Amino acid sequence: MPHDRLARVTRRKMVQGMALGLGAGALTEAGTVAAASESKIDALIARPPASFTPLTIPGKVTKVSAKGDVSAFMQKNQLWPLPDVARRLLEKAMMDFTGAPNLKEAMARFIHPEDVVAIKVNGIAGQSGHTMAVNFELILPVVEAVLAVGVPPERITVYEQFPSFLAGTRVNVRNWKLPEGVKTGTHNNNNHPMPDVRVYQGIKTRYCRFFTEATAVIDMTQIKDHSICGYTGTLKNITHGNINNPHEHHANQASPQIAMLYNHPIVTSRVRLHITDAFKITYDQGPLDKNPRTRIPYGAVYVATDPVAMDTIGWKLIDEVRRERGLKSLKDVGREPRYIRTAADLGLGIHDLNAIRLTTAEV
């Protein structure tokens, strides 16, 4: 085996050992696995319904953009997409990614009627009057597609970390209502009844109840610059958006913490689909929406099952926009999102741009 390939394999095994060896069960102070806790953790690993295999396509990312000027497909001072446009982009992206003839059949490639479905949205930058949040106009057709597959409404939960974050997405705010019976929730960093796991440097952590009680998770996120880790997208929405102590996993620009937290089998066994709302992107001073000059309309929806490939594409886009506006790259300003490369080393997806298949379309 060539030396460089051997080095990559060795590093991958080493990091996997760190993530899985420390994450698969709670450790005693002596460093031995506590059998009872290990059994409880194993019970939290999700299994698809019998005879159902969710679709997964490593390295594939589908992007569908809205045709025309931004004013043609946005509403309320160009802050939110028109509902019919958001639905069309989602359906086209899901159909192109799966090869299915419609949105219902496309969703059925990921979700089974017997699943318990959690939809993790992102609204941290939509609170307090700001607008960089996953749009309700995209969340609603995702929920409706899951219902169309045959999942009862009481087995679907749309959730976020804090109430203000969920409100940022406009879910069940004023006239933006989800279908009757669909549940919503926020975990507030204290609704994590599972045993502790130690994923990184012995730090105890837990994943939230909405996440661990689901058999299938749909990740709905955005493309944003991040002041700490450089880029925030699919991986970080699942890790720091679900654990009870995200503040303890930000050191060293959250690298490799994001990759290692995602690599836990509690996560990898249940996250089925990533849908990225790119009607707007933030290319600097993120992840909050404090400076509207760093937020631009983009008018696109992405679909993937590979979080590494999706975040690699998002990172590339942020750097392209920064370059167009005379800013240095994330790497050159000291915020390279190294965790994305680490996630690839762990086998979580494809990071090599030459190996990623990005399909694009306009509607």
Closest by Cα among 98, 116, 140, 139 to 216: 116
Closest by Cα among 113, 173, 192, 174 to 146: 113
Q: What is the pLDDT of residues 150-194, one digit of tens each?
A: 999 999 999 999 999 999 999 999 999 999 999 999 999 999 999
Q: Where does the pLDDT of residue 90 fall: very low under 50, low under 70, confident under 90, or very high at 90 and above?
A: very high
Q: Where does the pLDDT of residue 73 fall: very low under 50, low under 70, confident under 90, or very high at 90 and above?
A: confident
> Is a pLDDT exceeding 90 seen at residue 96?
yes
Q: Where does the pLDDT of residue 78 fall: very low under 50, low under 70, confident under 90, or very high at 90 and above?
A: low
Q: List the end-to-end C-alpha distance of the chain, in Å, as a whole number.
A: 47
> Is a pLDDT exceeding 80 seen at residue 8?
no
How far apart CA 363 and CA 361 sit, in angstroms, is 7
Q: Which domains does the chain carry?
A: 57-362 (3.40.50.11440)
Residue 119 has what pLDDT? 99
Q: Where does the pLDDT of residue 33 fall: very low under 50, low under 70, confident under 90, or very high at 90 and above?
A: very low
User: What percent of the chain is modeled with pLDDT above 90?
Assistant: 82
Say if residue 311 is exposed, middle or buried (CB neighbours under 10 Å; 0-12, 13-18, 19+). Answer: buried
DSSP bridge pairs for 184: 158
Residue 292 has what pLDDT? 86
Q: What is the pLDDT of residues 222-248, one digit of tens each?
A: 999 999 999 999 999 999 999 999 999
How many residues does the structure list for the chain?
363
When pLDDT is averaged across residues 48-69 and rounded to a whole number, the result is: 96
User: What percent of the chain is modeled with pLDDT above 70?
Assistant: 88
Q: What is the pLDDT of residues 315-333, one digit of tens each?
A: 999 999 999 999 999 999 9
| Helix ranges (DSSP H) in the chain | 3-23, 35-43, 83-98, 103-107, 136-149, 163-168, 209-212, 234-239, 251-254, 257-262, 265-268, 307-324, 338-345
DSSP bridge pairs for 63: 302, 360
